[in-house]
Structures are given as C-alpha cells and as structure tokens.
Amino acid sequence: MIKSIIINFLGIFNSRILGFIRDMLSASVLGANIYSDIFFVAFKFPNLFRRIFAEGAFTQSFLPSFSKSKYKPIFAYKVFVYIFVIILILSLIVTLFSSQITDILAYGFSNYEKKLATPLVAINFWYLDLIFIVTFLASLLQYKRHFATTAFSTALLNISLIAALLFSMHKSKEEIIFYMSIGVVVGGVAQVIVHLIMAKKKKILKLLYIGSKSKKNADISTFKKHFLPSVFGNSTAHISAFLDTWLATFLVSGSISYLYYANRLFQLPFALFAIATSTVLFPHITKALSQNKKKEAEEQMKKAFWYLFYLLILAFIFTLLNSKEIVKILFQRGAFTNKDTIITAQVLIMYMIGLIPFGLNKLFSSYLYATHRHLKAAKFSAVSLGINIIFSLVLIFPMKVFGLALASSISGIALFYLTLKEFGFREFLAFFEKKYLFYLIFVILVSIFLSIGFKEIIYLIKE
C-alpha cells in the first residue's frame, strides 16, 4: 500500500508543480482582475464536477458494486453508458442555455462581464465529458492495482493551459481567457488518450467490448443507489469553494482570484496527502471488509491515519508561518502586486484552518463508503454545507473575502466531527499509542524548524 501511495503522491506532486507554474504564469499575464475572475468562474463549474468525480465519488460507488458483479463486462459497460449519456445531455443543456447559466454562476457581474463569460462557460463545461471517461477508466485501472497513469496524467491539463498562456500572452486579455478555455478541452482530450492506451494494455477495452456485445443482463441498481449519495458526500469542500466564488462576485474585483489562488495552495497538501492516501486505501479496505477482515481494515486505517496526520500537521504549520512568503514567491510578478500577495496570504490562512479536518475526513469517509454508508456520508455533507452557507452569509459582511474562506474551514470541522462520530470515537481513540504521540511531537518541532529555516532563506535572498 505504501508503494502505491508514493506513486500517487509523486504523480499528484508532478501535476501540482505544473499547476503552480500555470498559476504563476496566469497571475503574471492576467493578474487579479475581472478577466481572471471571468476565466475562474467559467472553469470553476466543470472543475467542481471534475474534483467530485475524480477524487473518489465515482470510484467509491462503482468499485464495490463492480467487485461483486457476476457479469463484470456488461456491468461496466452499462454503468459507463448510463453516466455518460447523463453528462452528455447536461453538457448540451449548458451549451444551449449558457447565457442563463452564466447569469446564475456570475450573478454579481455586470452585463458586459456576463457576456464575456458566457461562451467560456459553454466551452469549459465539455471538459466534464472528457474527465468522466478518464475517471471511469481510472476506476478499472485501480481495480487492477494500477495508479500511475491517472496520477501522472493530471499534469496534461496544466501543460495544455501553460501552452495556451504562452501562445496568447501578447494578445488581449479577452483572447487570452478564450485560448485558456480551449486549452482546458485540449488537456481533457490528452488525458483520455493516455488512459485509452493504458486501458488497452490492461485489456480493459477488451472487457468493455465484450460487455457491449453480451446478451446477458447485469443489475446496476446498487450502483445507482449509492452513486448520488457518494457524489454529494464527496462534494462538500468543492461546493464550499464554488459557493465562495459565487458570493465573491458581489465583492470588489479580484476577490474571486484571491480565493482561487489561496484555494489552489490549500489544495496542494490536500491532494498530495489526503487524496493520494485515501485513493490507495479505499480498494484495500473494501477488499478486506468484503472478506470479513474488519481488524485488518482497521489496522490499515490506523497506519494511514498517522501517516496522513503527520503530513497534514507539517503542511499546516509550515503554511501558517510562511503564507505571505509562499504567495510572494509563487505569484507576485507582472500584474500580481504586493497588495494582491497580502490579501491572498490572509485568505490562505483562513482556508488552512480547515486543512486537517477536511484531510482526515477524506480518510474516514472512505471507511463509510467501504461499509456502504453512502447515505450517512451524504447527510453529513448536507449538514456541513448548510453550516458553510450560514457562516458565509454571516461573515461576508464584516470579513469580506476572508470570511468566505473561514466559513469553508468551519464547515470542514463540522463535517469531520460528524464523520468521526459515525466511525466511532472509541475506535478512533484506539488509534492513539504512546509511540505515535512521540512522533507527533517530533513532527511539530520539525515543522517549526523548517518554517524558521525557510524564512531565513527568504531573508538572505532578499539581502
């Protein structure tokens, strides 16, 4: 399991580094203004669904049902057709009614700004169709214990966007965000291609072909029953970020960009550690529980918990103590000013408060899905989302953009509490042993030491 986690970590790390290069270039070329806000609104909608699908929702409802299916080829084929047709219809609706949908997504924009955003919303949304194909094939690759292709292929989207920015950087800002939207779709096509190549190698395409020709029937009702709760259960952090973006349209220009850049930094440790760990853990505990090996599953949970907790603590302390330096190094150049750095760093701190609860919730919610408690997870997400909405509306007036980020973190704390309560506080407390607590103190001290060292290095560079 550790080897798979490391592979996942390296793949995600590679993608995130390219993502930050993309964001650095974007910040330099566009800055934090209405044009960057327009692109981020257009990209946020399909990206919301991408994160929900790609970061576990589909896999957590598909793999348990697929594992138990007697006729796996026809089951896989039927599920693919069922979901793809729904997404295709949704994409056509968004394209045909892009003006009305943009009015909702960017409610606080002026009519001129909405007009600029409308075609970009339609273009960007087609990325969702492509990423579903990727996620579907990735789930079957996970079943075969292959994680590398999916982990490393996410970099292709960033490469495509970097190419779009480099190609259009001397054009008008309206043209730049159009080329970036085209880059999103091209990146999706590239991801599909590499997954098709690996799917052919692993004989997954052959399995789907057999399923398409089979006359036997496979019941996908269990998958349907668990799919929507799984989607909603995985969506809290992403819907919270989406709501932040929507509410930020009512604030001064640049607010959406501050949230975007800060959330990107928040997503780095979240993806590297929480998603990488839970993605690998889920197939293992699902298999153990299906074989009635509960103790083995809980032991795997304990090891994964401490591994993840140490990393999240390190990331939290380091970012908290160096938020301004991190934002300045990554984004402050060109059109991105020192004022933008200060605001983005403060928003980042608000988001980081929720890193540990959101990260650990990702781990423990995997156990709920493995034990078929999809509805419970969805219920907790609904409560958490409600808390986020309430605090967003309350805090947006006194704290502006900072209040939106803080509200998201508060909802993460509530979500983790509910998930942990369902998992069992007694079972959770059994994870704690003296040796792990000693290591925890060591990690905290190392985090502080690294933070001080980082500040000293930055100070010397300035000198």
With a cut of 90, say whether residue 144 has pLDDT above it.
no
Closest residue by Cα to residue 140 from 84, 190, 82, 75: 75
* Helix pair angle (255-269, 338-352), 10° resolution: 50
> Rounded to an integer, what distance in angstroms lies between the CA atom of residue 86 and that of residue 78?
13
Q: With 70 as the cut, is the pLDDT of residue 52 above it?
A: no
How high is the pLDDT of residue 93? 92
Q: What is the dihedral of CA 203, 206, 212, 218, to 10 degrees?
A: -40
The pLDDT of residue 311 is above 70: yes
Give me the mean pLDDT over the 374-396 stretch. Answer: 89
Q: Report the candidate in 120, 399, 418, 112 with the shortest Cα–Cα distance to residue 244.
A: 399
What the block records as the tokens of 222 is 């269990």
Question: CB-based burial of residue 334 (10 Å sphere; 0-12 exposed, 13-18 middle, 19+ buried)?
Answer: middle
CA angle 351, 234, 401 (to 5 degrees): 25
pLDDT band at 1 (very low <50, low <70, confident <90, very high): low
Q: Tokens 């909802």 label which residue? A: 411
Lowest mean pLDDT across 25-39, 114-128, 170-184: 25-39
- Could you tell me the pLDDT band of residue 2, with boundaries at 50, 70 and 90? low
Q: How far apart are CA 346 and CA 363, in angstroms?
A: 27
Provide the pLDDT for residue 410. Answer: 95
**Helices (H) and strands (E) in the chain — how many of each?**
22, 0
Range from 12-16, 123-127, 342-346 carrying the lowest mean pLDDT? 12-16
What does the pLDDT read at residue 162?
92
What is the percentage of the chain residues whose pLDDT exceeds 70? 94
Q: Supply 444's token pair.
A: 């905290």
pLDDT digits over 321-346, tens only? 999 999 998 888 877 889 999 999 99
Residue 206 CB neighbours (<10 A): 12
The pLDDT confidence band at residue 171, using thresholds 50, 70 and 90, is: confident
Say what the pLDDT of residue 55 is. 53
State residue 187's pLDDT score: 93
Phi, psi torsion values for 214, nearest 5 degrees? -70, 145
Nearest to 71 by CA among 170, 209, 189, 214: 214
Burial 428-460 (b: 16+ CB within 10 A, else e): beeeeeeeeeeeeeebeeebeeebeebeeebee
Are 260 and 26 in contact, with CB atoms under 8 Å apart?
no
Tell me the torsion sign for CA atoms 365, 90, 47, 390: negative
The pLDDT mean for the chain works out to 85
Give the percent of the chain with pLDDT over 90.
34
According to DSSP, residue 82 is labeled H
pLDDT for position 96: 92
Q: What is the pLDDT of residue 117?
A: 85
pLDDT at 237 over 70: no
Q: What pLDDT is attached to residue 130?
A: 92
